[in-house]
Chain A
Amino acid sequence: MHSIVDAYSRFPKADCGYCGNPSCITALRRHCSGEMPLDQCIFFRTGALDPQSIRCPPATESSGVPGISYINPCPSDAHAVTVEVSLASGEHAKHGYYDMVTLDRILGGHVPSLKVSPSLGMARIELEGRSIMAFGEGRILIRRALDEEDALLQLSRAMRQLWAAVN
C-alpha cells in the first residue's frame, strides 16, 4: 500500500508557507497533481531533503457521478438501510476529496465517536448505532440507518464533522 501518507512522512512538515501553500500536505497534494515543482519548497531546493524520495501515489479513482449511488437493505439487518454517497466529481481534487491527514490533525483523538486513519485514507464515525465510513476519495457509506430519511440526516451530520477536511 503506497499512500499519500507515505509521501507525507518524507515531507518537511514545517508548514512554513515559503512555497505559498498553507501547509505541507497542501503542497504535497499540489505537487502530486502536477501543480507544484518540489523545488518550490525550501527544504528540497536547498537539498536538505531528497526530492527523489517523494513518490506520489496513483490518483484516486473517482467513484463517478456524484450523488446517492446505492441504497439497499443492510447486508446483516433487513430492517435497516445502507446508503452510499459519492461527493466528489472526477475533477475535484485528484488526490482525494477529504484530506484525512488534516482531519486527523484537527479532530483526531478529540471526538470519541470519530476514528481517523490517515494512512488508510478513511475515517469512521459511530452515531447512535449507525456506522459511517468516509473515504478519502469522497465516498461516504452509512450503514444501519433507520430509513432513507434517517440516512440522509446522518449523512449531513457526518459531512458537517468532516467539512474542515475537504480539499
Chain B
Amino acid sequence: MRLDLLVDLWGAYMLDVDAVRKDFPSLKEGRVYLDSAASSLTPDPVIRKMVDYYSDYRANVGRGIYGISRRATDEFEAAREKIAAFIGAGRDELILLRNSSEALNLIASGVQFRRGDSVVITIQEHHSNFVVWQRVKERLGIDLKIVKSDRQGIFNLSDFEDAIDGKTKLVSLAHISNVLGVKLPVKEVAKLAHDQGSLVAIDGAQSAPHTSVNVKDLGCDFFAFSGHKMCGPTGAGALFIRGDLQEHVEPLCVGGGTIEDVGIDYYRLRRGPYRYEAGTPAIAESIGLGAAVDYLRSIGMQNISEHEQALTRRMMERLPEVPGIILYGPPNASDRAGIFSFNIKGLNSHDVALALDSAAGIMVRSGHHCALPLMKDLLAAEGSVRASVYLYNTLSEVDLFADALTEIAKTMA
C-alpha cells in the first residue's frame, strides 16, 4: 500500500468525517461546500447553545442583579475564558468583538501613532489589514511599508529586516494568506520586530480555525480572528491584546460598560477587556463562539490539521491535472493551508464558480477575495477561483471537484 494512502487512512481514523458531517445541518445532499475560508458552516451544538440563550436565559450581561442576568453573564464570561484559552491568552487579554475587521480597526485607531512612525504590512494582506493602514497613513502621515513575496507567496526574511527599523511602530501581517494559502513566517517576523522595539499584530482570520494557535508562543502583541470562520456564528470575533499593553491602547468605542467612573468633566476607563466593549455585546453569538471552541477542541485541532493536510495533498495531486489551470501559491502541499486559488485559461473566475455550482452543487468563491493589491501586483489577475476546505470536507468531494473542473475546462473554455 502506498505510504500516502496509509497516512490518509490514519487521518481518517483520527477524524471521523462521516460523524463530523452529521453535526452540520446545512450539509444537505447534493451540496459541496468549499468556501469555508469565507465563512464556515455551523454545527448543531453551537446552534443549540445560542437557542438556549434566547429560550432559557435571555437577559443582558453585566447589568442585572437577578438570577437570569447572572446566568447570562456567567455564560458570556465562560465563553470569553474558553476563547482566550483556545489561543493561549489570559481571559483579561481577550476582547470580544464582531470580527477580524473590527479587531484590526481597533488596533489601527487605538495605538498612538505619530507622524514619522512606520507600519510594516505585506502584499498578501486582506483589505481589512490593508486599507486600515492606508487610512492611518492618510490621517496621521505615518510611513506605510509593504513587504512583497515572490509569485508563489514565499517571503524572504531579509525583506522584513530591511523594512523594519527603529521607526517601526507596528508590524501587522496575516498568519495565513486568504488567497494563496501560504503560511507566513509570523514567528520570525515577530522576533525581528521586537528586536527593533516594534509591536506585532497578527491577522489570524485564516489560522485560528485550522491550526492550534498560541499567542505567547508566536510572540505577538495583538491577534485578531473571526468566529464565523471557525464554526461559530456570524457577529462574534475576538482580539487578543497583551495585558500590559492595554493601558496604551485606546478603545474604538467608549460608553456604557467601558468606564470605571464618570463625572461632569472627566471619565476613567476600566481595565481589562471591558475597556474595549462598549454597549451591549453580541451575547448569543459570543456564547455560540465559546461552544464552537468546545466543538473544535472535542474534535482536536491536531486532527483537524491532519485531515486538512490529507485533503490538501489530494487537491495538489488532482488540480494540476485540470487542463489550462493556473494554480497560485506554493506547489508543495506541506507549505500551504487548505486554500486553493486558481484560474482556468480562457474562463472568468465567476463563470467557473457559476458552472461548478450549477453542474455539481459545488460552492467556491470567485473574484478578488478582498485582496486587490495581491491580485494586481503579484498575480496580475483580475480575480481567481478559490476553493477552501475544512473539517467536514471529504476526499471524495475533492475528487468530485477536480472532475467537475476538468469537465468545465474541457468543454467551456
Contact = CB atoms under 8 A, between A and B. Distances in A.
**Mostly helix, strand, loop or mixed at chain B's interface?**
helix
Interface string B193-210: 000000000000000000
A119 B360 contact: no
A118 B412 CA distance: 10
A139 B355 CA distance: 12
Contact of B354 (A116, A117, A118, A133): A133
A145 interface: no
Contacts of A143: 348, 350-351
A18 B404 CA distance: 36
B408 interface: yes
A27 B403 CA distance: 28
Contact of A76 (B358, B367, B412): B367
A75 interface: yes
Contacts of B367: 75-76
A141 B351 CA distance: 10
B411 interface: yes
Interface residues of A, number: 18
**Mostly helix, strand, loop or mixed at chain A's interface?**
strand
Contacts of A59: none
A31 interface: no
Interface string B100-127: 0000000000000000000000000000
Interface string B381-401: 011000000000000000010
B82 interface: no
B7 interface: no
B368 interface: yes
B358 to A, nearest CB: 5
A48 interface: no
A124 B411 CA distance: 10
A116 B404 CA distance: 15
B407 interface: yes
A122 B355 CA distance: 8
A141 B407 contact: no
A115 B413 CA distance: 8
A76 B355 CA distance: 17
A141 B354 contact: yes
Nearest to B365: A75
B354 A119 contact: no
B350 A76 contact: yes
Interface in B337-375: 348, 350-351, 354-355, 358-360, 366-368
Contact of A117 (B348, B350, B368, B407): B407
Contact of A75 (B350, B359, B403, B413): B350
A121 interface: yes
B354 A120 contact: no
Nearest to B356: A120
Given A1-B403, A115-B411, A121 B350 contact: no
Contacts of B368: 76
A117 B368 CA distance: 26
A134 to B, nearest CB: 10
B78 to A, nearest CB: 39
B362 to A, nearest CB: 10
Nearest to B358: A135
B412 A117 contact: yes
Given A1-B359, A1-B360, A75-B366, A119 B350 contact: no
Nearest to A116: B411
A133 B368 CA distance: 20
Nearest to B346: A115
B411 to A, nearest CB: 4
Contacts of B348: 131, 143
Contacts of B413: 115
Contacts of B354: 133, 141
Contacts of B350: 75-76, 131, 143
B407 A1 contact: yes
Residue among B359, B367, B400, B404 having the largest count of chain A Cβ atoms under 10 Å = B359
Contacts of A133: 351, 354-355, 358
B358 A120 contact: yes
Nearest to B375: A76
Contacts of A124: 351, 412
Nearest to A82: B350
Interface in A125-150: 131, 133, 135, 139, 141, 143
Interface of B: 348, 350-351, 354-355, 358-360, 366-368, 382-383, 400, 403-404, 407-408, 411-413
Question: Which 3 A/B pairs are nearest by Cβ-Cβ distance?
Answer: A117-B411, A120-B359, A76-B367
Given A117-B412, A122-B358, 12 more contacts: A1-B407, A76-B367, A76-B368, A76-B382, A117-B355, A117-B407, A120-B355, A120-B404, A121-B358, A124-B351, A133-B358, A143-B351
23 contacts: A1-B359, A1-B360, A1-B404, A75-B367, A115-B412, A116-B411, A117-B407, A117-B411, A117-B412, A118-B411, A119-B407, A119-B411, A120-B358, A120-B359, A120-B404, A120-B411, A122-B358, A122-B359, A124-B351, A131-B348, A133-B355, A135-B358, A143-B350
